[in-house]
Structure 1
Amino acid sequence: MTFMDQLRRRIGGGGGAIPPALLPTRTGTRGDGADTDVAEIPEVSVHVEDVNSRFNEAVPDGLHVAAAWGWRVIVVAIMVAGIAYVLAFLSEVTIPLLVAVLLTALLLPVTKRLHTWGVNRGLATAITVLGGLVVIAGVLFLIVSSIVSQSSTLGTNVTTGFNQLANWLQNGPLHVSATYFNPNEWVTRITDWVKTSQDTITTYAAEIGSSVGHFLAGFALALFSLFYFLHNGREIFAFLLRFFPRKSRARVDRAALNGWQSLSSYVRATILVALADGVGVLIAALIIGVPAAPALAALVFLGAFVPIVGAFVSGFVAVLVALVALGWVQALFMLGAIVLVMELESHILQPFLMGRAVKIHPLAVLLAIAIGIILGGIIGALFAVPMLAFVKTFVQHLSDELPNPETSVVSR
């Protein structure tokens, strides 16, 4: 079979003539100078199977999906880790800013209400900030005065409880040596440690002084940030929106607004829940006769800002005080009162106050608190759940406004 026959078989599928369209011509010149058309033999391309296509067909669909999910999860994890590292590295700036954001979510309705009553925006902001400072100072004054007024009684009760515990350990089934409970022995040990640890004490004192300086600087930064967030919060967010593509700014704005509403609802609900916990513990402590009841109630109030575990851990301090000061019977009553308060919080207060605006699964709350403690300690646990509330609502509304899969251009 000649080459032309093979060519006809490849192109024409049989022995027929080669279509003229497949035989391009070129212009040549004969010996006498006249042009003539000379048929060119087309270049024959041999079909080669696509190796990539065969490889993709050999990989199961489940592995394709797992790989697609895997690299996306890795990218998100790297992004989250990077953000956490930056927040931790710049903690002297980020922590005051986050505190200011939470206080803004709490106090912004007060500023708006004053502004609707005809008060100038700047004056309304100043009144709100100063009023918040007065409230915080008043609460701290009540706590300190309560501790100072009952310090002598509490000290006597603690000493009595310690002696009872030491007597039980010495004469009970454990038979612990009395040397461990001799006050003179402890004084001698402490004195010797102070004499031999001057450099360590100096280092600790310098660290404490540096921490106090950082705290004051952070307090000032949080105060100024709070003022400007209350006064120009919308303008600041409008500036941040410029970093997003123009076509997605409206969607990000709406999602952020919904996230901010969820954050505000969470902060206000947490304040009310913490207040209820503190009042419940205060009433129980006063009935049982636990010393320094207002201070213990304030501790429970502050601990309740860490959901689920905060109020219970801080309430355990009240149980210890009752155990040392009054005895194990009163301590059991105090423990029962705290468990009752926690049950009321979990089953009545939180569902009623937070409602559906901030609906977060308890497991997600616990995981967020655990991650917050790992990354930032107590401060991380304090901010973990509010950030989760904002991010959850933000992402939810951001994805809700994406095109419907049935009408999306990508799905066509």
Structure 2
Amino acid sequence: MTYAPKSDFLTQLIERGYVADCTDYEGLDRALLAGPVTAYIGYDATAASLHVGHLLNIMMLRIFQKTGNRPITLMGGGTTKVGDPSFRSDERPLLDDAAIQRNIDGMQKVFDRYLDYGPGAATMLNNAEWLDDLNYLTFLREIGRHFSVNRMLSFESVKSRLDREQSLSFLEFNYMILQAYDFLELNRRYGCQLQMGGSDQWGNIVNGIDLTRRVDDKVIWGLTSPLLTTSDGRKMGKSAGGAIWLNGDMLSPYEFWQFWRNTTDADVGRFLKLYTELPLDECDRLAALGGSEINLAKVRLANEVTALLHGPEAAARAEATARAVFEQGGAGGDLEVALIDAAALSGGLSVVQALVRSGLVPSGKEVKRLIAEGGLRLNNEPVTDAQRMLDADAIGEGLKVSIGKKKHRILRIG
């Protein structure tokens, strides 16, 4: 991107790596300078908690508010009844009203940590307010006529599903029309001029912009963030143990802290810029630390992210617990170290081979049994794949191996 923004919001987002694409950088930048602007991100209530995959866009809303603008968190009480088919291989299970409301209540706990709600501040809305009572024939005549089925079929989120010959129900096909209608309604009711979301929502966002132009002759904008994967190719927010939930009753602050502490070296600098509020020069300084000192950056990352979500005291407790478990083995003495030959590791070893070679587990059969029973953890993260590979980067200055609940060792290269 060659455009150099002048507004504080766009400048911060671009410098910190939040932006994948925008429908009109210059037009949005001018609106932000004239500000304040109202923007929204939509969240369907498909689970009782948001997860780490949502955190990037939550941070965007936080920056949006801190730069003097008005964020809307739109709960999909209506659209959840349909289900977003984007890049999915099957239809989402349908939830009843009570389950949807429970999920919205759970998600609100997270937003309360990152945004200030109230008069003139952030607003939480539910699209069931205007979707639940739509008159079907009126909606088809006034809204549906503006959508080309040919164009809808061309969007990658739909096309990829059809190309794989996987069923797409008529119910799901309506989702993109309803999301576009959300943007139109938010513009009419609240003067909302911007929708943000992950880059997988680009087609849905463009639909809303086009609909609003056609129906009300209004100019509005869309801004997307990249869909992040970690340097080892995993989708951000996923681990061997499942989703990294943001609600403390679904994932403890300690486990959340550990997720960030276990960040790979290559991801530290990027994650510091995206998930903390540290100045950019401090992020760069920490990312440049070499050798074992990079672990200081990982602890800083874990503390900063955990403090934002769960509070500074929870972050401090998590770090203290981690030090007790990792450095003293949780029982007052240093953890024993098991060595693995560097030459054997040069080509990469499966976790089964590595633990047998190190002498930590007597046989590959025993390692596989531990994995199958959920009894093996690496840096406190459950191992579920016996084919998982370990190399020098994965072991680093020391990889904590937990066998069952009481046996802990440090695996090192030697």
> TM exceeds 0.5?
no
User: Please, what TM-score do these two structures have when normalized by structure 2?
Assistant: 0.20
Larger Rg: 1
User: Please, what TM-score do these two structures have when normalized by structure 1?
Assistant: 0.20
